[in-house]
């Protein structure tokens, strides 16, 4: 593979592992808290149960289930607000012959008839938003069965304001993503095992704390996209790559890597490979670009890249290339910063991913180091210089076993 990451790949294994640990800590601060998840889950179940029990032929046996980042476990806290997007599908099994207008009218009318939802409903091009104006809002997309039910997942016709109905299969895409997440790359160092969940009407929200490596990689790339698009003078901001394109390309690259059997000493090099391979999974040519749902080829996530009016499609293509180059540059900058000390590492991370989660991660790391120092359990691994915790049986860093560790003498600030 022709590398785009000369500086990043040249880092020592221990510095790469340290960066992965710091990134993991940063993105812990962008996940849903337990309280947020419980509030969202309560609201999600409530609206699903309400609509499923409304007495109208089109709403009979209605089912509601998550799609998008909540379903995929790749949700990040938004940049400038505290609201999480919760994307839901409202499947209407008895709406096969209903028009888009009939479906939208029935769902909206019943939401407006409810004392809880009547003041919270907003129209969207593909359904409705229930805006709780707090931690979250629910985006509900009504849908009916697609003609080809033999397709994997749950093929749908979703309502669309512009063309009436649009082919979609978010559950099929999500199942494929789950399979990709369950594929384990060959990484020689010991890792923390992350469990996958199986998902059930109202379907449970996937537990956002149960993440695998691919979930985290997508989180990192989406957050980088969000921060990058807000940079002063960014001419590509209005055409930034949408989350599903980043998710699909990262997933395809990850699967290619795992199937290749390539062996890694750390997760950092695997992340670099995913970023490098992503553009190679964009299909098509100058006439038509394709980033499709593998379970429904008619669903092209890059459809806007093919618009010719006002060169809109070209602007989307250019924006993806600009963001991808910026992502490469970010990891090269992290490598340079690593050679200059931890203050520079945290500064580079703040530039790429935002100050708040990076400062929170830094505070957590400092607190952990001070606790081990106070307890006399802080050590340095021989040969690497990595700071680690010392136990009576063996020495461990956060996720990896270290063989030879020298304790660091506690500084009591008063000499002998």
CA neighbor of 393 nearest in space, from 380, 372, 373, 377: 377
Tell whether 42 is covered by a domain. yes
Name the pTM for this structure: 0.85
User: Which of 184, 211, 238 finishes a domain?
Assistant: 211
User: Which of 211, 246, 262 finishes a domain?
Assistant: 211
- What's the CA gap between 104 and 234, in Å, rounded? 37
- What per-residue confidence (pLDDT) applies to 250? 98
* Number of other CB atoms surrounding residue 300 within 10 Å: 19
Beta-bridge partner residues of 65? 89
Tell whether 92 is covered by a domain. yes
By the 10 Å C-beta count (0-12 exposed, 13-18 middle, 19+ buried), 192 is classed as exposed
pLDDT tens profile 10-64 = 999 989 999 999 999 999 888 888 888 888 888 888 998 999 899 899 999 999 9
| Residue range(s) defining the domain that contains residue 46 | 34-211
- What per-residue confidence (pLDDT) applies to 118? 94
- What's the CA gap between 203 and 193, in Å, rounded? 25
- What's the CA gap between 126 and 406, in Å, rounded? 60
Tell whether 305 is covered by a domain. no
Q: Which residues of the chain have pLDDT under 70?
A: 1-2, 81-82, 189-210, 372-373, 376-416
- What's the CA gap between 51 and 40, in Å, rounded? 17
Q: How distant, in Å, are the alpha carbons of 60, 89, 129, 245 from that of 119? A: 24, 21, 11, 34
Q: How many domains does the chain have?
A: 2
H-only helix segments in 128-242? 170-182, 213-229
- What per-residue confidence (pLDDT) applies to 409? 41
H-only helix segments in 287-398? 312-338, 342-353, 355-375
Cβ burial 31-62 (10 Å sphere, 16+ → b, else e): bbeeebbebbbebbebbbebbbebeeebbeeb
Tell whether 260 is covered by a domain. no
CA dihedral 237, 241, 246, 252 (to 10 degrees): -140
Is 117 in contact with 108 (CB distance < 8 Å)? no
Tell whether 413 is covered by a domain. yes
- What per-residue confidence (pLDDT) applies to 377? 64
| φ, ψ for residue 386, nearest 5 deg | -70, 135
CA neighbor of 390 nearest in space, from 376, 400, 374: 376
CATH number of residue 164's parent domain: 3.30.460
- What per-residue confidence (pLDDT) applies to 39? 85
Tell whether 226 is covered by a domain. no
Tell whether 330 is covered by a domain. no
Is 16 in contact with 268 (CB distance < 8 Å)? yes
- What per-residue confidence (pLDDT) applies to 311? 95
Tell whether 292 is covered by a domain. no
- What per-residue confidence (pLDDT) applies to 85? 86
Is 323 in contact with 246 (CB distance < 8 Å)? no
User: Which of 192, 211, 230 finishes a domain?
Assistant: 211
- What per-residue confidence (pLDDT) applies to 374? 74
């Amino acid at each position: 593979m022709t590398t785009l990451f000369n500086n990043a790949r040249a880092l020592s294994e221990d510095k790469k592992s340290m960066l992965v640990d710091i990134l993991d800590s940063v993105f812990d601060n962008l996940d849903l808290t337990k309280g947020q998840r419980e509030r969202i889950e309560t609201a999600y179940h409530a609206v699903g149960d309400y609509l499923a029990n409304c007495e109208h032929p089109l709403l009979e046996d209605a089912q509601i289930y998550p799609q998008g980042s909540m379903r995929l476990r790749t949700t990040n806290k938004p940049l400038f607000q505290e609201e999480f997007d919760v994307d839901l599908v409202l499947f209407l099994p008895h709406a096969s012959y209903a028009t888009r207008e009939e479906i939208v009218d029935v769902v909206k009318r019943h939401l407006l008839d409810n004392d809880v939802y009547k003041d919270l409903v907003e129209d969207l091009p593909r359904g409705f938003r229930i805006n709780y104006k707090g931690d979250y809002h629910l985006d509900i997309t009504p849908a009916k069965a697609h003609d080809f039910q033999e397709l994997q997942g749950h093929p749908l016709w979703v309502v669309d304001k512009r063309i009436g109905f649009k082919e979609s299969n978010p559950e099929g895409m999500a199942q494929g993503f789950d399979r990709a997440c369950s594929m384990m790359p060959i990484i020689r160092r010991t890792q923390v095992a992350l469990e996958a969940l199986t998902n059930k009407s109202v379907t449970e929200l996937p537990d956002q704390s149960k993440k695998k490596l691919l979930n985290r990689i997508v989180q990192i790339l989406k957050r980088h996209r969000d921060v990058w698009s807000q940079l002063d003078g960014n001419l590509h901001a209005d055409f930034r790559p949408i989350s599903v394109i980043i998710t699909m390309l990262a997933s395809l690259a990850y699967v290619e890597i795992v199937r290749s059997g390539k062996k890694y000493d750390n997760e950092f090099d695997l992340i670099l490979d995913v970023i490098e391979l992503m553009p190679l999974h964009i299909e098509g040519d100058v006439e038509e670009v394709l980033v499709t749902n593998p379970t429904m080829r008619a669903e092209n996530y890059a459809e806007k890249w093919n618009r010719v009016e006002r060169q809109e499609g070209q602007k989307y293509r250019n924006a993806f290339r600009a963001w991808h180059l910026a992502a490469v540059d970010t990891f090269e900058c992290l490598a340079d910063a690593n050679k200059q000390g931890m203050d520079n590492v945290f500064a580079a991370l703040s530039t790429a991913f935002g100050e708040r989660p990076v400062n929170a991660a830094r505070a957590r790391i400092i607190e952990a180091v001070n606790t081990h120092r106070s307890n006399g359990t802080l050590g340095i691994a021989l040969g690497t210089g990595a700071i680690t915790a010392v136990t009576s049986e063996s020495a461990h860093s956060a996720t990896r076993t270290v063989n030879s560790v020298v304790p660091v003498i506690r500084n009591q600030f008063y000499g002998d």
